[in-house]
Chain A
Amino acid sequence: MAEKKIIYHCYGGAHSSVTAAAIHLGKLPRENTPTNDELLSLKLFDRLTKEGHGELHFAGVDEWQNQIYSVGCRNVGKAIERLLRGVADIFAQKEQLVFVDTLHCVTMKMRIGGYISRQLGLVEIGRPIVLQGTQEAYPQLVGLVSRIRNEVRR
């Protein structure tokens, strides 16, 4: 069976999708909540700007050789998913794509912190809030990733 391209997507591609991709690849623990340093060690965590929205960022390859990506789709995730599936279909590669929306795992703290840090550029104020929010949302993200991993390894 051909390896899949698993694309975790959220609004800004800087927090929940990056965290989910890292959980998928085992870069973050599944058993316990990561520390601030662990989250900040991720290359893209709270770093992607709006100029990078839409770009698929390669996070790594999992144990089944599936390629893992994260992307920020703003509030048009469904439409982007349809368009990219359509383009992939033209080249007979539609079956390889797995889109995973991580937005429903995002907490209010992540939204507010993410907005302050990414949109307003006030990183020193926004980052501690978004870190706390990500740690609170972590069990949901682990649950989502576990479900996806079970699906793709079949």
Chain B
Amino acid sequence: MIYLYLGQNDLCLPVTAASLQLGLLMSTSLPAYEDLAKLPHFRTVGKEDEGMLCFMGEDRQGNKVYVTSVKGHPDVFIRGVGSLLSVCQIPLQEVVVVPCIAENPQVSRLCRIITLLGFKESATRLGSRVARNRFRELAATTYAK
């Protein structure tokens, strides 16, 4: 099975959720900024890598876990993936799309602007704060899946 964590404007939330599934983060303790920052692909995204799948790894059950991020309209992407699976005659349950959108997408946009201004470290720090704020919810979602 394929798990696809979908973020908006950044990969911070999807990478955190994917890491919980892969066991790179423990759901029992809130991760430190350093722990989040060293996760693979934990960053904002540019226009050129919107929609690009990043492979995070395989979980214990052998499910492949990917993350991706889009600028906006996550509903269109979710419908698109479902529709493609039908068209390609792939069972719908083969791909699970998990939206990991910040409550306020403007924060993710701000992260992106900060990155564009060259303050990558500050953007990552802000992204990690968003991830920490949503950590319990992400953990609950991930384990429910």
Listed in ascending order, the chain A residues whose CB lies under 8 Å from chain B are 5, 53-56, 58, 67, 69, 71-76, 78-84, 86-91, 93, 96
Contact = CB atoms under 8 A, between A and B. Distances in A.
A83 B80 contact: yes
Contact of B76 (A54, A86, A93): A54
Given A80-B76, A87-B81, 10 more contacts: A54-B75, A54-B83, A55-B83, A56-B86, A71-B83, A74-B76, A79-B51, A87-B2, A91-B88, A93-B88
Contacts of A78: 50-51
Given A86-B53, A90-B2, A69 B87 contact: yes
B53 A79 contact: no
13 contacts: A5-B87, A5-B88, A53-B73, A54-B83, A56-B86, A58-B87, A67-B87, A76-B70, A76-B73, A86-B53, A87-B53, A87-B95, A90-B53
Interface residues of B, number: 30
In terms of DSSP, what is the predominant structure of the interface of chain A? mixed
Contact of A56 (B73, B77, B87, B95): B87
A50 B10 CA distance: 25
B90 A80 contact: no
